[in-house]
Amino acid sequence: MRRQIIIFTLIFAAALLQTAGALAQIEAEPSGFLSNVQVSSDELNIAANEKTRIEFRLTQSAKVTLVIYNAGHVPVRTLATDLPCAAGVNALEWNGRDDAGAPVPDEAYYFTISAVGSRQQVASFDPALTSGGERIKFGDDNLKFDAEAGGIVYELPYAARVQIRIGVTNGPLLKTLVQWAPRKKGRHCEPWDRKDASGSITLTELKNLRILGRAMALPEKSIIVKGGGAASASTEPVTQDTALRRTAVDASLAKRARPIEPAAWTPFGKNTDPVFSLSLKSDKNAVDTKSAPPSSEKGVAVRGETAFEIALDDAARMALMEQRFEIVFFVDYSLIGEVEQGYSPYTWVWDSTSVADGQHVITFNVSGMNDQIGAQSLIVDVQNGIAEK
């Protein structure tokens, strides 16, 4: 599946290059009289009534339009439209609210500036067409669990979108701690209780524990908003202007001098890890592993052939049923099998006589085409009267 994703990405990039010329109408050619674009703060807390000041310098008077976009390249706030501005330093403020006055969701936002001079010459600042998506590599000492800090610590050379996953070397993913969330430049500590996604396994006790970090740069001068609440899935139809902007931004990725993080090609909101339930089925009864008490101190008691049911939640089902997804099964962090064409709900039957009696860890990963991976684990107590295997 990963090979197919890479091939698809390369084909998609080539197609975007062919269309880049036709989309030039949304790229303004800088003429040199707009410069020194700055923001007073790269973070804005709406709950604290904070504002961010956006400054820019003009070498001549011009009419200025400034628009703020979300990560999906949808305009959320127009701060100015053909606003007359004098030569020199000019500034506008943003309070983290959209055109309707509502707080925008917690996310990263970028802005564009277009300035039209007295002779109709145009200068622009459009960071999404020249920056963002560049891969940031974490060094061996730059991503690790710090027990005293109570989380995973790392440092970013500049503002970026970050993913942190925790798993076992050559084994399953066990937890996604951060899924492409925006973070500002500098040192960070992501709180972690040391547990897996199911909350039943203390991962720091595992010998082959591996922490994987990926990051990609945000567009230049991005503003990270907090205090606005979580984003919800948009049901608004995509306008033609937004579709053109998205295509132009994707086309620009192929022109960058620095390597691009593959996740940058995935449309925003389409790389959310799937959430699913893992239930142990006994005869006609299914028991939710999160609410059921263990049948022994070692875990849920199982014997012989044991059936596990995996069921995607509504959001994951909507996202994954339109594409192919895999279900991968592990016992004690070793791969046992996989289903390349998954469906939900899915029942996996495991012969527990294949292992010795005692405590074992059952893990399922559900993987989508856009590098989405969900994880759930269950501790079981095998009771077949088999002392060794």
What is the distance in angstroms between the CA of the first residue and the CA of the last residue of the chain? 33
Give the pLDDT confidence score for residue 245 in this predicted structure. 95
The whole-number pLDDT of residue 10 equals 32
Task: Report the distance separating Cα 369 and Cα 388, nearest Å.
Answer: 39
Mind listing the pLDDT tens digit of every residue in the chain (389 residues)?
Answer: 443 333 333 333 333 333 333 333 333 344 479 999 999 999 999 999 999 999 999 999 999 999 999 999 999 999 999 999 999 999 999 999 999 999 999 999 999 999 999 899 999 999 999 999 999 999 878 999 999 999 999 999 999 999 999 999 999 999 999 999 999 999 999 999 999 999 989 999 999 999 999 999 999 999 999 998 887 766 667 899 999 999 999 999 998 889 999 999 988 888 888 888 898 876 544 444 444 444 556 788 898 999 999 888 887 777 777 778 899 999 999 999 998 887 778 899 999 999 999 999 999 999 888 888 999 999 999 998 887 77
List, as own/partner pairs, every contact residues 67-70 make where C-beta atoms lie below 8 angstroms and the sequence separation is at least 24, other chains included.
67/111, 67/112, 68/94, 68/109, 68/110, 68/111, 68/223, 69/109, 69/110, 69/111, 69/112, 69/128, 69/245, 70/104, 70/105, 70/107, 70/109, 70/268
> Which pLDDT belongs to residue 386?
82
pLDDT score, position 250: 94
All structural domains of the chain: 2-129 (2.60.40.4070), 135-217 (no CATH), 276-382 (2.60.40.10)
| pLDDT value at residue 21 | 35
Residue 59's region, left for phi above 0, alpha for psi from -120 to 50, else beta, is alpha
CA dihedral (184, 189, 192, 193) positive or negative = negative
- Separation CA 91–CA 25 (nearest Å): 27
